Amino acid sequence: MLGVRNCTTMAEAAGILSGDRHAVLLGGGTLVMRDVNEGRLTEGTLVRVTDPAFRQINAGGGRIELGAGVTMAQILASRDLAFLHPAARAIGGPAIRNMATVGGNLFAACPYGDFTVALLALDAQVVLHAGFGSGRATPLDEFLAGRDRGTTPGLVAGVQFSRPANPGDFRFRKISRVKPKGISVLSIAAHLPAQAGRIMQPRVAYGAMAPAPIRARGVERALENKTLDAAAIQAAKQAALEGCQPATDAIASEWYRREVLPVHLGRLLAGEPR
Ligand X SMILES: Cc1cc2nc3c(=O)[nH]c(=O)nc-3n(C[C@H](O)[C@H](O)[C@H](O)COP(=O)(O)OP(=O)(O)OC[C@H]3O[C@@H](n4cnc5c(N)ncnc54)[C@H](O)[C@@H]3O)c2cc1C
Interaction site with ligand X (CB under 6 A)? 24-32, 34, 68, 90-92, 96, 99-101, 103-105, 107-108, 112-115, 155-156, 183
CA angle 204, 71, 44 (to 5 degrees): 105
3-state secondary structure of 93: coil
- Least Å from the CB of residue 100 to ligand X: 3
- Least Å from the CB of residue 181 to ligand X: 6
- Least Å from the CB of residue 62 to ligand X: 24
Nearer to ligand X, 202 or 207 (CB): 207
Nearer to ligand X, 68 or 228 (CB): 68
Residue 44 class from Cβ within 10 Å (0-12 exposed, 13-18 middle, 19+ buried)? middle
CA–CA gap between residue 171 and residue 167 (Å, rounded): 9
Nearer to ligand X, 100 or 199 (CB): 100
- Least Å from the CB of residue 59 to ligand X: 18
Nearer to ligand X, 155 or 175 (CB): 155
Cβ neighbours of residue 52 closer than 8 Å, sequence gap 6 or more: none
Nearest to 85 by CA among 175, 189, 178: 189
Nearer to ligand X, 270 or 274 (CB): 274
CA angle 177, 273, 181 (to 5 degrees): 30
Nearer to ligand X, 114 or 220 (CB): 114
Q: Which position's Cβ is nearest ligand X?
A: 104
3-state secondary structure of 238: helix
Rg of the chain over all Cα atoms, to the nearest angstrom: 19
If you count them, how many residues does the chain have? 274
Nearer to ligand X, 96 or 235 (CB): 96
CA atoms in the 13 A half-sphere facing the CB of 105: 32
DSSP 219: H
- Least Å from the CB of residue 29 to ligand X: 5
- Least Å from the CB of residue 146 to ligand X: 12
- Least Å from the CB of residue 169 to ligand X: 23
CA–CA gap between residue 205 and residue 214 (Å, rounded): 6
CA atoms in the 13 A half-sphere facing the CB of 226: 17
Stated as kind and residue range, the H or E segment containing 195 is: strand 194-195
Cβ neighbours of residue 95 closer than 8 Å, sequence gap 6 or more: none
Nearer to ligand X, 10 or 261 (CB): 10
- Least Å from the CB of residue 84 to ligand X: 13
